[in-house]
Chain A
């Protein structure tokens, strides 16, 4: 899986491309830890390029989201595909995140407080 990042509306947007499964999840975990240590605790994760998510990927997002919120930040999600959405829905974790259909809008929302 490829992980790219950009700054949009002053907010770090992480763009994931590929499958977010048990092989790849630790890499994402590592990246998110690094980002939080750099002081970026308000980020957007753009999942438009993620065509598959399993419990490992979900677990990383849930635990990281919790950590970022403890640091007075947040992880907002954008562009969940059908199957990714389904995994969140089945595990009742949709309500843990602010979910947008546009990552720019998600980034902008951090400024609205």
Chain B
């Protein structure tokens, strides 16, 4: 992909719940590798976020699957950037709206509907787009390194 190449990791999975663990652990493993190579603040939470997000997104994709033919495979694509880790789940199910459902009323403790809510809670950004026949949910988490930038000392400034 050119200079400053970012790593891309892709997994294609049949739309079957028996692979949910694979999808989920793929998320935590990729996150773990990044955490160990970069040294992240809250590394455990970072890895858990991807594990949970992938479990939810994969389950969602399987739930809405049209068929189990190869053309309906679910594609999971990770992109490692300088400042963020992104994962996109792609499926060829009918289009759906990420914000379509009425907002979850947590105070009533519903028995379902927590999936997308949790996804949005643990990831920094969650976006949906439809490209040709593909639904694509892209989730991002910034890489907050555990050593913060240098702190400035106090100096009197000019007129500010």
Which residues from chain A sit less than 8 Å from chain B, CB to CB?
Answer: 19, 21-23, 52, 54-56, 58-59, 62-63, 66, 82-83, 86-87, 90-93, 96
Residues of B within 8 A of A93 (CB): 109
Residues of B within 8 A of A62 (CB): 109-111
Shortest CB-to-CB span from A23 to chain B, Å, is: 4
Assess whether B118 is in contact with A52, with CB atoms less than 8 Å apart. Answer: no
Report if B55 contacts A (CB, 8 A). Answer: yes
**B interface: dominant SS:** helix
Assess whether A23 is in contact with B20, with CB atoms less than 8 Å apart. Answer: yes
Closest 3 CB pairs of A and B: A22-B59, A55-B114, A63-B111
> Could you list 19 examples of A-B contacts with CB < 8 Å?
A21-B55, A23-B17, A23-B18, A54-B52, A54-B55, A54-B59, A54-B115, A55-B59, A55-B114, A56-B59, A56-B115, A58-B114, A59-B112, A66-B111, A87-B118, A90-B121, A91-B106, A91-B118, A92-B107
Residues of A within 8 A of B112 (CB): 55, 59, 63
Assess whether B20 is in contact with A83, with CB atoms less than 8 Å apart. Answer: no
Nearest chain-B residue to A54 (Cβ)?
Answer: B55
Choose one: B48, B63, B111, B114; the contact of A83 (CB below 8 Å).
B48
Assess whether B44 is in contact with A96, with CB atoms less than 8 Å apart. Answer: no
Residues of A within 8 A of B51 (CB): 52, 83
Docked Cα-Cα span, A59 to B114, in Å, equals: 8
Shortest CB-to-CB span from B62 to chain A, Å, is: 7
Report if B32 contacts A (CB, 8 A). Answer: no
Choose one: A21, A55, A83, A90; the contact of B21 (CB below 8 Å).
A21
